[in-house]
Amino acid sequence: MDITVQELKEKMDKGEKFILIDVREPHEHEEFNIGGSLYPLGNIINAIVELEDHKDEEIVVYCRSGRRSDTAKQFMQQAGYQNVRNLLGGMLDWQEAFGRW
């Protein structure tokens, strides 16, 4: 099940435990990010390998608009990750709702 920017912000504000992954390119991440670990979509295999011990934990993936992160979610699910959620609307919706922190 995917997640909206409002739901994600609420989880962050409550301090809930989950893994946050940014699948954008490094220059996009440097320009603005919400604290996710950077694993560009082209290198998503690195995240799949490095996070092997966290397959059952909640993972939220995000990008600029939600398209690349949806692809990353599918790759991760195919690799056996059970609880991957795509941030709907990505950073575009985040900035529209909350601005740049």
Catalytic residue, chosen from 3, 51, 63, 76, is 63
In three-state form (DSSP H/G/I as H, E/B as E, the rest C), the secondary structure along the chain is CCECHHHHHHHHHHCCCCEEEECCCHHHHHHCCCCCEECCHHHHHHHHHHCHHHCCCCEEEECCCCHHHHHHHHHHHHCCCCCEEEECCHHHHHHHHHCCC
63 is known as an active-site residue? yes
The residues annotated with a catalytic role in the active site are: 63
